[in-house]
Amino acid sequence: MVQITGKYQLVKSENFAAYLIGIGLPEDKSNEVDKIKPTYDIKHEGDKICVDVDLMADLHVEYILNKEIDEKLPYGVVVKTTTVMKGDDTIVMSSKTPKGRTGTRTYTFSGNEVTIIYKDDDPKCPVATRVFKRL
């Protein structure tokens, strides 16, 4: 079984600012967020996955597998998110905005890293990939 629990630091990012712009974040804020090298502290215990993100403001979210939760994102946006496990190395978070827009964040764990792929339901929105190394 792949080790999910751990602290991770961003080491590589592709198309993240373009993705954020694609989902509606203003360009200046998207570029600001893209420059940040966040640390993710991920804990997987039973049916709970806790994610603490050191961003501009610290974020803490507790996901419950196969259950919809209200997730507060930066800038005050609240989305409905359902989290599922795919095998023992992949977590998929599917979110829906108040306006009905949907997207996914797929966390794939391997060795000492996690790769997160961000996809929006709009095919014109770029797909973003971010790679984090375990600290």
Where do the domains of the chain lie, and which CATH numbers do they carry?
6-134 (2.40.128.20)
Supply the pLDDT for residue 77. 79
Token pair of 48, please? 């709970």
**Burial class, 135, CB count within 10 angstroms (exposed 0-12 / middle 13-18 / buried 19+):** exposed
> What is this structure's pTM?
0.93
Inter-residue contact 53 to 39 (CB < 8 Å): yes
| CA–CA separation, 43 and 64 (whole Å) | 12
Kindly report, residue by residue over 43-95, the tens digit of the pLDDT.
999 999 999 998 756 788 999 999 999 998 877 779 999 999 999 999 999 99
Beta-carbon contacts of 26 under 8 Å, excluding residues fewer than 6 positions away, are: none
Kindly report, residue by residue over 86-122, the tens digit of the pLDDT.
999 999 999 998 889 999 999 999 989 999 999 999 9
Supply the pLDDT for residue 55. 73
